[in-house]
A and B are shown apart, each in its own frame.
Chain A
Amino acid sequence: MHTSRYRMFQMIFGSFGRGDRNFLGSRGRTAKPIRPLDERRSGMTDWHPWDAEHRRRGHDPDRPHEESGYGHDDPYRHPDSADPQRQADGRQLGDLPWQERPWGGTVSSETAPLHSGPVHTGPVHTGYPDGPAHEPTARGTTYRAATPMAEPDLEYDDASEGRSPRGRRAAVAGVALGGLAVAAAAVPPVRHALLGLFDSDAAPTAAEERSDLPVPVTSEPPASGAPEAPRREGPVPDSFTDRDSSYSMSKPRKKGKPNKQPKWPSKQDKSPELAAQNAQPAATTPLSHDPLQHLLARFTFGASPTDVAELRRGGVLRWLHRQLNTAKPGYTGAPASVMPLLSKSPRQLIDAVAAKQIGSSDAMNQLTYATFACQLWSPYQLYERMVDFWANHLSVANHDGDQYPYRHTFDRDVIRPHALGKFSDMLLASSKNPSMLKYLNQNESRKESVNENYGREILELHTLGYGGGYTETDVRQTSYIFTGRTISGTTREYIFDPKRHYVGPVSAVGFKHENKTAEGGEAVGDAFVRHLALLPATAKFICRKLCVRFVSDVPPQALVDRLAKVYLRHGSAIKPVLWTLFLSYEFWASRGQKTRRPGENVVATARALDVKPGADPKKGLNSLYGVTRAMGHSPLDWQPPNGYPDVANAWVSAGTMLRLWGAHRALAQGTYQGFGYGPLAKLYDVRARTAGAVVDSLAMRLLGQRLRASDREAMLAFLGAEADTPVSSVDVAGKLPHLVPLFFDSVYHALR
Chain B
Amino acid sequence: MTSEYLHPDCPDTSRLGPTEADAALRARAARVEADLAAADDGWRRGFTRRAFVATAGMAGVAALGSQYVTTKVAFADPAASNGNTVVVMFLRGGCDGLHMLVPASEALGVAEYRKARPGIALPAGKLTALSGGWAMNSALAKLQPLYKAGELAFIPAVATDEVSRSHFQAQDFYECGGPPAQARNGWLDRVLEKLGPGTTFRAISEGTSLPRSMAGNQSKIVLSGVDTFAFPGSKQLAASSKKALDALYRGIDHPLTSQVRETLSALATAEKIAAKPYEPGADYGEGRVGAALMDVARLVKANVGLQVATVDVGGFDTHTDEINQLEKIGTSLAQVLSAFLADLGPLRKKVTLVAMTEFGRRLGQNASGGTDHGHGAVMFAAGAGVVGGKVHGKWPGLAKDDLDHGDVAGANQAFDVLGELITKRLGVGSLSTVFPGHAYKPLGIFR
Query: Do A and B truly interact?
Result: yes
A residues adjacent to B (C-beta < 8 A): 127-128, 131-135, 137, 139-140, 238-241, 243, 246-247, 249-251, 253-254, 260, 284, 286, 440-441, 444-446, 448-453, 456, 460-461, 466, 472, 475, 595, 630-633, 639-640, 642, 645, 648-659, 661-662, 665-666, 708-711, 713-715, 717-718, 738, 741-742, 745-747, 750-751
Tell me whether A654 and B166 are in contact (CB under 8 A).
no
Interface of B is mostly: loop
Contacts of B134 in A (CB 8 A): none
Additional A-B contact list (4), CB under 8 Å, known A131-B116, A441-B320, A708-B251: A444-B367, A662-B233, A738-B234, A741-B241
Given contacts A653-B223, A710-B45, contact A747 B406 (CB under 8 A): no
A-B contact pairs, 22 of them (CB 8 A): A240-B172, A246-B180, A250-B185, A284-B46, A286-B47, A453-B372, A631-B208, A633-B208, A642-B168, A645-B209, A649-B215, A652-B210, A653-B259, A654-B263, A655-B223, A658-B229, A715-B244, A718-B241, A718-B244, A742-B241, A747-B248, A747-B254
Chain A residue numbers with a CB within 8 Å of B275 are none
**Contact partners of A139 in chain B: CB under 8 A:** 161
The proximity string for B residues 173-190 relative to A, scoring 1 for CB distances below 8 Å and 0 otherwise, is 100100011001100010
Residue of A whose beta carbon sits closest to that of B210: A652
> For residue B234, which residues in chain A have a CB less than 8 angstroms away from its CB?
738
Considering the chains assembled together, what is the distance between the CA atoms of A652 and B240 in angstroms?
A: 24
Q: Which residues of B contact A639 (CB under 8 A)?
A: 314
The complex places the Cα of A51 from the Cα of B48 at a distance, in Å, of: 38
What chain B residues lie within 8 Å of A133 (beta carbons)?
400, 406
Q: Is B194 an interface residue (CB 8 A)?
A: no
Task: Tell me if A653 and B217 are in contact (CB < 8 A).
Answer: no
Most chain-B CB neighbours within 10 Å: which of A132, A472, A654, A750? Answer: A654
Chain B residue nearest to A662 (CB atoms) is: B232
Q: Is the CB of B48 within 8 A of A260?
A: yes
Contacts A132-B406, A284-B47, A452-B372 hold; do A745 and B367 have CB atoms under 8 A apart? Answer: no
- Judged by a CB distance under 8 angstroms, whether B364 is at the interface is yes
Q: Give the 8 A-B residue pairs with the shortest CB-CB distance, closest first.
A: A632-B208, A662-B232, A653-B222, A655-B223, A714-B247, A449-B367, A253-B51, A132-B406
List residues of chain B with CB within 8 A of the CB of A632: 207-209
- Whether B249 is near chain A, meaning CB under 8 Å from some CB there, is yes
Nearest neighbor of B43 in chain A, beta-carbon distance: A710
B126 within 8 Å of A (CB atoms): no
Q: Complex Cα distance A2/B54, Å?
A: 54
Q: Cβ of A654 and Cβ of B266 under 8 Å apart?
A: yes
Contacts of A240 in B (CB 8 A): 172-173, 176, 180
Measured CB to CB, the closest approach of chain A to B226, in angstroms, equals 9
Interface pair B247/A711, CB less than 8 Å apart: yes
User: How many angstroms between the C-alpha atoms of A648 and B215 in the bound complex?
Assistant: 11
Residues from chain A with Cβ under 8 Å of B169 in the complex: 241, 466
Q: For residue A713, which residue of chain B has the nearest CB? A: B247
Given contacts A449-B367, A630-B208, A653-B223, contact A714 B244 (CB under 8 A): yes
Q: Nearest chain-B residue to A737 (Cβ)? A: B234
Partner of B166, one of A445, A466, A651: A466
B438 at the interface (CB under 8 A from A): no
Q: A715 to chain B: which residues have CB within 8 Å?
A: 244
Smallest CB gap from A639: residue in B: B314
Provide the residues of chain A in CB contact with B241, threshold 8 Å: 718, 738, 741-742
Task: Tell me how far the C-beta of B219 lies from the nearest C-beta in chain A, rounded to whole angstroms.
Answer: 10
Known contacts A250-B185, A655-B222; A132 and B229 CB within 8 A of each other = no
Cβ–Cβ < 8 Å partners of B252 in chain A: 286, 747
Contacts of B317 in A (CB 8 A): 453, 640
CB distance from A610 to the nearest CB of B (A): 21
Nearest Cβ on chain A to B247's Cβ, whole angstroms: 4
Least CB distance from B250 to A in Å reads: 6
**Cα-based distance from A714 to B248 in the complex (angstroms):** 7
Instruction: Determine if A251 and B185 form an interchain contact, defined as CB atoms under 8 angstroms apart.
Output: yes
